[in-house]
């Protein structure tokens, strides 16, 4: 028995009365307070059942508790990058196109042109108001114009030569104008568009000293005003 073992045994015997042996699971002698008993050199006192497996008590048999490695502290998540909101694009309105108004149309004021159609002596026999057949061509021209221009009025004026009495000539000139009106109405011209008048032997057209002149004076004149554009 070596010196160290003898010393441990003696210490065990001296403290047996006040020490509770706790062989398991520590394998070291502990006092009533549960503290491991140490010898004068500071070594932990083994129990009889101590084995190397018990040499894991901190401070005994040179066992030093390994310091636990510090737990890795997770780095805080990086703050999210600030959301940069692009400014709304500035919409520059396009300038309104310059609208050049078209030139004002040139308004040409219509002018009235008076037309005259004369039915001369070849259309009336001496002292007669009856229309000859040859008068139809000229009168049909008047009818066509009147239908194309419903706004116009017609003036029908009868005349005679200077043979006979003035009163008789005036009546005859009226009858000649009325004969022309009757023809126009018969062919579609409204009667209220036609004015008639007799002028007897006034406003002589031809020379009453000759037969041709007198025939020219036995006439009816038809006058009407139509609109024509000025060019």
Q: Which residue has the higher pLDDT, 63 or 165?
A: 165
Query: Mean per-residue pLDDT for 118-134?
Result: 83
Q: Is the dihedral of CA 11, 14, 19, 22 positive or negative?
A: positive
Highest mean pLDDT among 9-23, 108-122, 151-165: 151-165
Instruction: Tell me the CA distances in angstroms from 182 to 48, 153, 175, 210, one per residue in order.
Output: 169, 15, 10, 31
Write down the pLDDT at residue 1.
54
Percent of the chain past pLDDT 90, that is, above it, reads 31
Identify which of 223, 224, 215, 138 has the alpha carbon closest to the alpha carbon of residue 183: 138
Residue 127 shares a structural domain with residue 196: yes
Classify residue 68: in a domain, yes or no: no
- pLDDT exceeds 90 at position 215: no
Task: Give residue 17's pLDDT band: very low, low, confident or very high (50, 70, 90).
Answer: very low
**Cα angle vertex 105, ends 102, 107, to 5°?**
165
Any residues with CB less than 8 A from the CB of 211 and at least 6 apart, and which?
none
Q: Which residue has the higher pLDDT, 4 or 218?
A: 218
On whether residue 70 sits in a domain, the answer given is no
- Best CA proximity match to 228, nearest among 135, 110, 70, 77: 110
What is the overall mean pLDDT for the chain? 81
| Res 158: pLDDT | 94
Q: Answer yes or no: is 171 within a domain.
A: yes
pLDDT score of 64 more than 70: no
pTM of the model: 0.51
The reply to whether 65 falls in a domain is no
**CATH (domain of 128):** 3.30.1330.60
Please report whether residue 83 resides in a domain.
no
| pLDDT for res 65 | 52
The domain of 211 spans 110-229
67 in a structural domain:
no
* Average pLDDT for 146-151: 92
Mean pLDDT of 3-22: 49
CA dist., res. 202 & res. 79, Å (int): 121
**pLDDT value of residue 181:** 95
End-of-domain residue from the set 35, 54, 73: 54
Among 19-33, 81-95, 141-155, 165-179, the range scoring the smallest mean pLDDT is 19-33
- Distance CA(36)–CA(176), nearest Å, equals 169
196 pLDDT above the threshold of 80: yes
Bigger pLDDT: 75 vs 196: 196
The pLDDT score that the predictor gives to residue 169 is: 93
Question: Based on the structure, what is the number of domains in the chain?
Answer: 2
Q: Determine, yes or no, domain membership for 100.
A: no
Answer whether residue 145 shows pLDDT above 60: yes
């Amino acid at each position: 028995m070596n010196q160290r073992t003898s010393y441990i045994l003696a210490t065990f015997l001296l403290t047996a009365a006040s020490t509770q042996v706790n062989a398991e699971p520590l394998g070291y002698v502990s006092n009533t307070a549960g503290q491991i008993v140490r010898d004068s050199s500071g070594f932990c006192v083994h129990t009889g059942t101590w084995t190397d497996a018990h040499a894991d008590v901190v401070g005994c048999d040179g066992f030093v508790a390994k310091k636990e490695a510090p737990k890795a502290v997770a780095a805080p998540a990086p703050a999210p990058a600030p959301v940069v909101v692009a400014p709304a694009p500035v919409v520059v309105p396009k300038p309104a196109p310059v609208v050049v108004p078209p030139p004002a149309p040139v308004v040409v004021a219509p002018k009235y042109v008076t037309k005259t159609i004369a039915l001369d002596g070849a259309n009336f026999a001496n002292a007669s108001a009856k229309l000859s057949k040859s008068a139809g061509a000229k009168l049909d021209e008047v009818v066509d114009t009147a239908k194309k221009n419903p706004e116009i009025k017609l003036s029908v004026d009868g005349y005679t030569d200077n043979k006979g009495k003035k009163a008789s000539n005036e009546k005859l000139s009226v009858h000649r104008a009325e004969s022309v009106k009757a023809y126009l109405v018969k062919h579609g011209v409204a009667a209220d568009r036609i004015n008639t008048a007799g002028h007897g032997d006034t406003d002589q057209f031809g020379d009453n000293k000759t037969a041709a002149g007198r025939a020219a004076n036995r006439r009816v004149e038809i006058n009407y005003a139509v609109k024509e554009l000025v060019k």
